[in-house]
Chains A and B, each alone.
Chain A
Amino acid sequence: MTRPKRLVATVAHRAAILCYVVFALFPLFWLLKVSVTPNDLLYSEGVRLWPSRTVFDHFDFVLRHSDFPLFFRNSMIVSLSTAFIVTILASLGGYAMSRFTFRGKFWIVGLMLLTQMFPLVMLIAPIFKILSPLGLTNSLSGLILVYVAFNVPFATFLMQSFFDGIPKDLEEAAMIDGATRFMAFRQIILPLTLPGMAATLGFVFTAAWSELLFALMLISGVDASTFPVGLLSFVSKFSVDFGQMMAAGVLALIPACLFFFFIQRYLVQGLTAGAVKG
């Protein structure tokens, strides 16, 4: 290509990326904007990009006068537990799927795929029926159990693909060097799969953090509500308190952002693993 042509191509490329980023981030920006807009300006100023006056009243209310801190704590407990339990189970399962042939493997994989095929709505009633006599409705443990069950299959496939990307030679070399298979797994394979585990952890955490359907159906009391359910409490019969709802939304973004900030180093490696050999 000639120089000017290449320049045009570069500019077009960057412009396309910019368009995408603006499109993807605009709702977040709007969330932030509404959360700092005073109630009296919310409708009067209409679609201005930034309100003429900003206030933090909504945050103050949400943090001090609502049940939001409780919801937040519940969500943290549920999401972190789910993410860690699922990642551990999926790592072990994914390793087995990647490295061993065993009787019934075909059927287990088939069954795991099958669980991913049904719309969750269909399963709510039976799950409620199963959990209720066990005393697991209206409890965080019940929610964790359900989230783990629904996230393990996909996470296992995800982890399997990460293990598939690590040559078998490595653990064979370790076993010849004197390690048991489990030691080879722990000392050689796991450190190399950290990016993959971070990706899985992040994926499951976000899924659990923003899950609404089960949280809504399995939990009725305020004590065990997670924050997506809590967000709905800002919608009353007669009005929607947009300012407070958006403030709660902004607060809810913080842990997800922090979480991704801590794992992003591994995440980028994880998402590009396999793209580069060596």
Chain B
Amino acid sequence: MASIDITDVRKAYGAVKILHGVDLTIQDGEFVVLVGPSGCGKSTLLRMIAGLEDISAGEIKIGGKRVNELDPKDRDIAMVFQSYALYPHMTVAGNMSYSLRLRKTAKEKIAKAISGAAEKLSLTPLMERRPKALSGGQRQRVAMGRAIVRKPKAFLFDEPLSNLDARLREHMRGEIKKLHQDLGATSIYVTHDQIEAMTLADRIVAMNAGIVQQVGSPLDLYDRPANLFVAGFMGSPAMNMFEGVYRVANGGSVELAQGIVVPLAGPASTADGTKVTLGIRPEHVVVGKDLAGGLAAEIDLVEPTGFGTILHSRAFGRDVKAFSLERGLAERGDTVSVSFPVERIHLFDTASGSRIG
């Protein structure tokens, strides 16, 4: 096991810049999830750590040792690919033992290592099968097995679950977390799925357009998103965002469309008249009849999820989403009252996107 230090790492393909200077330190044994929309450079960063892509500028250290110039085989990392990349002409056992055979490990040691891994992943009855004769979930487990048979310095995962159906994905998510708690291995996990990121990570690194947006614990990112991107990306249904103007009067408030004024918990660190964006998560929007300080809203869509209900409504000329665990709160066409509790409001500077309160 080892720590990984990434210092001002950049990547460009010719004139096209993909990564614009990433700084990140991953502690020994930590499980870090890189999350961001498709095309933001997550895989590129992971592949640079693995040694599959050249590093245009900056430095990557694994276990304190600079690896920029090392071939993948000399970095002692293991990687699980989205496509699983199982060797089609080898059996499950052959796939899992390949790395050990390359290292000329003794036969008995190999047998022990792969039977141990097979046990952990319930692959024992499948050892003599070819990948072609396995289901998607089994292939995924073989890919995991191939990574854990040798004890590498770090595990890299590139969207390992995205080819599985929803149920299996949820199951494997749990398996991966258990495996990590078992092995305590330094892991970097790439995904575009924020639920996977939230549930698996010790720390999340949110990326967009080749720039790290925020690094923190899952609940940090959820409760105090550093900017509009993170606020909008984390959480489903997504956070409500309303553009308005900051007012210093009355201890800080935001003037929204149609002259609606929403009070804040306290003054924000910005000047009167600044364009701001008010954010509030759907589950924090209060829906009721004649709420004190509530805004009139007309319900135009009701989505029951079983677990709760998503209410889409229209207020002050804007769409307002609310999520409630209660059922039968309102029907389509009802006029209700919605309110935004001050302690739940996120405030961002619209121009820079940064959080200001």
A66→B78 CA distance, assembly (Å)? 66
A255 interfacial by beta-carbon distance below 8 Å: no
List the count of A-B residue pairs having beta carbons below 8 Å apart: 53
A221 interfacial by beta-carbon distance below 8 Å: no
Contact A178 B81, beta carbon cutoff 8 Å? no
Residues from chain B with a CB closer than 8 A to the CB of A180 are 71, 73
Residues of B in contact, count (CB < 8 Å): 21
A188→B89 CA distance, assembly (Å)? 8
Residues from chain A with a CB closer than 8 A to the CB of B99 are 177-178
Residues from chain B with a CB closer than 8 A to the CB of A251 are none
Q: Looking at the complex, which one of A174, A175, A176 makes contact with B87 (CB distance below 8 Å)? A: A174
B72 interfacial by beta-carbon distance below 8 Å: yes
A183 interfacial by beta-carbon distance below 8 Å: yes
Interface residue SS majority, chain A: helix
A60 interfacial by beta-carbon distance below 8 Å: no
B251 interfacial by beta-carbon distance below 8 Å: no
Q: How far is the CB of A200 from chain B (nearest CB, A)?
A: 19
B262 interfacial by beta-carbon distance below 8 Å: no
Residues from chain B with a CB closer than 8 A to the CB of A131 are none
Q: Sort chain A's interface into a size bin.
A: 10 to 19
Residues from chain B with a CB closer than 8 A to the CB of A172 are 50, 52, 72, 79, 81, 85
Q: Looking at the complex, which one of A177, A183, A191 makes contact with B146 (CB distance below 8 Å)? A: A177
**Chain A positions 144 through 179: 1 when the CB is less than 8 Å from some CB of chain B, otherwise 0:** 000000000000000000000001011011111111
Query: Which residues in window 181-206 of A have CB below 8 A to B?
Result: 183, 188, 191-192
Residues from chain A with a CB closer than 8 A to the CB of B98 are 174, 177
Q: How far is the CB of B109 from chain A (nearest CB, A)?
A: 15
Q: How far is the CB of B289 from chain A (nearest CB, A)?
A: 56
Contact A179 B73, beta carbon cutoff 8 Å? yes
New contact pairs (13) apart from A167-B85, A176-B78, CB-CB < 8 Å: A169-B83, A172-B72, A172-B79, A173-B146, A174-B98, A175-B71, A175-B73, A176-B72, A176-B79, A178-B73, A179-B73, A183-B102, A188-B87
A residues with a Cβ closer than 8 A to B are 167, 169-170, 172-180, 183, 188, 191-192, 278
Could you list 16 A-B pairs, sorted by A, with CB under 8 Å?
A: A167-B85, A169-B85, A172-B52, A172-B85, A173-B81, A173-B146, A174-B87, A175-B51, A175-B72, A176-B78, A177-B73, A177-B146, A178-B73, A178-B99, A191-B89, A278-B132
- Chain A to chain B: the 7 pairs with minimum beta-carbon distance, closest first: A169-B85, A177-B99, A173-B85, A178-B102, A175-B72, A178-B73, A176-B72
